[in-house]
Amino acid sequence: MFDNVKKWDGAPISEPGLYSHIPMEAYHAQLTVGPSISSGGLRTMWERSPAHYFSGSYLNPDRVSNDNPAFAFGRAAHKLLIEGLDGFESEYAIRPDEYPDFRSKAAQQWRADQIERGLTVLTPEDIFHIKGMAASLGAHPMVKTGILDGMIERSLIWKNEDTGIWIKARPDVIPGDCTDIADLKTTGSVDDDSIQKSITSFGYHVQAAVACAGVKAVMNIDVESFTLVFAEKLPPYAVRVVTIPAEDIVRGASQMKWAVREFAKCLKTGVWPGPGGGAEDAEFMGMSQWARDKIDRRLGILLPAQELEAYESTYSWEIEE
């Protein structure tokens, strides 16, 4: 177990390291002496655009924060399932039984009061489901053997050598000898398609690459595997543990490299382009290849071959280079 963990003192961080006691709101704010970006920010830069990242970033003075109830549930589940009850009441408020919903003025006022106090509001149903998830997780063989035991919610902070940009990573758990990293994910389903879609859509392979880079930079340890523990949010609360293939993490490392360089460029120029990179002329954009293939297959069934050839001849334009 890595024993050189630094307790954050509340001041901007100027030294790379593995830090404890960093509140989540501080982690996502101006945490370091210079601008910093987390795994989530890098993934937004890649998947959407620098403009989409900047819109919700702490760097944007006009940022508007809109919390999603699904995100609130996910954060609460992580808090209870990974960290336990310690400090839960200082961050969350559970809707009292006297308010069956938030339609009454009294219930709305109660919710507004909790938000004013800086608390995230949960419902009794949320807690019921989180308890169900906890029971299911506790019964899984890999959880029993300690996949979610180790250093909890430690923040890896380091400087990217190429750009000098500060990078942040915050794995849920760094178990044992630190050669594996584990992250808990709440999800609607743990079937094959859903898990593959989640890994792709949320860029979990990029998250893995960033965390592995952080462990290497801060702890000088080569991570051998990145494990995702998926738990369903509704009955039967099925649990599935998967390891991201090394080849996908290598892809994520290349995406991370591009996103860090793009972040540095945007900071320097003050320009945060949207999708397409701010092209000055119209771009060619048509249907996806999948949609084209689907249409072509159907036309091949409905139209005679000679008629298809006539259409292709009529609309075969040559585009000058």
Residue 238 neighbours by CB under 8 Å, 6+ apart: 136, 189, 190, 231, 232
Query: Is the distance from CB of 160 to CB of 214 less than 8 angstroms?
Result: no
pTM of the model: 0.84
What domains lie within the chain, and their CATH numbers? 5-269 (3.90.320.10), 286-321 (no CATH)
Residuewise pLDDT in 10s, the chain (321 residues): 667 899 999 999 999 999 999 998 899 999 999 999 999 999 999 999 999 999 999 999 988 766 666 677 888 888 888 887 777 878 888 999 899 989 999 998 998 898 888 888 888 999 999 999 999 999 999 999 999 999 998 999 999 999 999 999 999 999 877 788 999 999 999 999 999 999 999 999 999 999 999 999 999 999 999 999 999 999 999 999 999 999 999 999 999 999 999 999 999 999 999 998 776 778 888 999 999 889 888 887 676 666 666 666 665 555 444
**CA dihedral sign, ordered 292, 297, 302, 308:** positive
Torsion-angle region of residue 248: left (phi > 0), alpha (psi -120 to 50) or beta? alpha
Query: Is the distance from CB of 53 to CB of 260 less than 8 angstroms?
Result: no
Residue 126 neighbours by CB under 8 Å, 6+ apart: 73, 76, 94
Separation in Å, CA 12 to CA 16, 39, 162, 168? 11, 19, 22, 13
Tokens of 200: 């792709």
Nearest to 229 by CA among 139, 102, 300: 139
